[in-house]
Amino acid sequence: MTLAQEKIIDFDKGNLTKNVHEFDRVPVILKFTDPSKIVETYGSYGQIGQVSIEGQFLIPKDIESKILYVMMHPTGSLNRLPMPLALVKAGKHVLCANSRYPSNDSSLIMEKVVKDLSQYIQYAKEVKGYEKIVLVGWSGGGSLSLFYQAQAENTTITHTPAGDVYDLTKENLIPADAVIFIAAHLSRAETLTEWIDPSVIDENNPDVRDIEFDIYSPDCPNKPPFSADFVEAFRQKQRERNRKITEWVLATLKQINKKGESERGFVTHRTMCDVRWIDKTIDPNGRTENECYLGDPVSVNCAPAGLARFSTLRSWLSQWSIDYTNAKGVDSAKLIQKTPVLQIINEADDAVPATHNPTIRDALATSDATYIEIKGATHYYRSQPELMTQCIDHIKEWAEKRNFW
């Protein structure tokens, strides 16, 4: 069924050109059984243990293809974002796949997202007849793509970090034929840890803070440009806070299990605080100082859309704990031995730290790894159509050499 027909208008530095490209949005709804003791997301399930996931095929009109570009973010909906639209504009068949946790990661379990992604890939190959799958991981979808591909090539996971049985070795994880990693970070856990506010002393009262590390406060004695010693102390305090929350999560989970309770939610305050955002000398790239991808760092530090603001105990262990998550990009990269991988780095990225992609590059086990940097590109390519086009051109050149275009 065709949901809608759309036109993508090609802008060149703000000027409308004559290139108009039409495509269809075709919905896909997949339902499957996935044993669970509780309902994790409101309104997305029928009976307990039944999962329904929704995505959209973006199909250019009058273009047949046996190659499908698949994009998934753990929680985000991608079908209106620049990258998939640019791919379909280039004549590619694209699937924007939502997980079972659309726009709400409070109860998200990364291992279950892997299964969701596997359902789309299996459907695309076995039902829709696509012969090649190119997995495109943009932003938070990057570490997910590596996690999926690593488990598809060499499945190791049988339990979630909370100890719940979730055996991916029994799933039909079909490996993608290629992976593209664009404007993507190491993992949700490691990114949160580099952004969590280390000044918070009392998790139940975020107004109780250590002024030495409260870098957004005018009373903080440490000012940018920050010394190397301060940055290292700041990072250590961030790691300590992540681990302190993890210890509380483990203890609370043990406590409620004794009571026969299954889960509990909690709030993590002030999770968007990074010395890099107010000091460009730290891990320098082309980003704008005193900004981040969500806007003003001081404001977003307390905003409801901040990373890990709302979470369940099990979800914290699966996606936010630096010591317990299974979805670290480096660990996944080491398991990817057979698949071509393209990394595209946005040099002015205001979300992904400049240190993350070189770390992934050095960890990849595959012999077919390509690393490309786009000078001046920001995370979302806002008002940068020429750089978005440059990104697609890099993908095309890389994919053509491997028969994925």
Q: Beta-carbon neighbour count of residue 144 at 10 Å?
A: 29
Q: Do strands 93-97 and 67-71 pair parallel, antiparallel, or not at all (unpaired)? A: parallel
**Short-list 216, 221, 180, CA closest to 200:** 216
Type of residue at 11? F
Q: What is the mean pLDDT of residues 88-111?
A: 96
Structural domains in the chain plus CATH codes: 4-187+326-401 (3.40.50.1820), 191-320 (no CATH)
Q: Which amino acid is at 42?
A: Y
Please give the C-alpha separations between residue 122 and each of 33, 46, 59, 141, 183, in angstroms, as whole numbers.
15, 22, 18, 19, 26
Q: Note the pLDDT of residue 11.
A: 37
b/e code 111-132 from CB counts within 10 Å (16+ = b) = bbbbbbbbbbbbbbbeeeebeb
Quote the pLDDT of residue 59: 97
Question: What average pLDDT does this structure show over 204-228?
Answer: 97
How large is the average pLDDT for residues 5-17?
A: 42
Please compute the mean of the pLDDT values over residues 187-208 and round it to a whole number. Answer: 97
Task: Enter the pTM of the model.
Answer: 0.94
What percentage of the chain reaches a pLDDT higher than 90? 88
The two beta strands, 50-60 and 93-97, are antiparallel
* Max Cα–Cα distance, the chain, nearest Å: 66
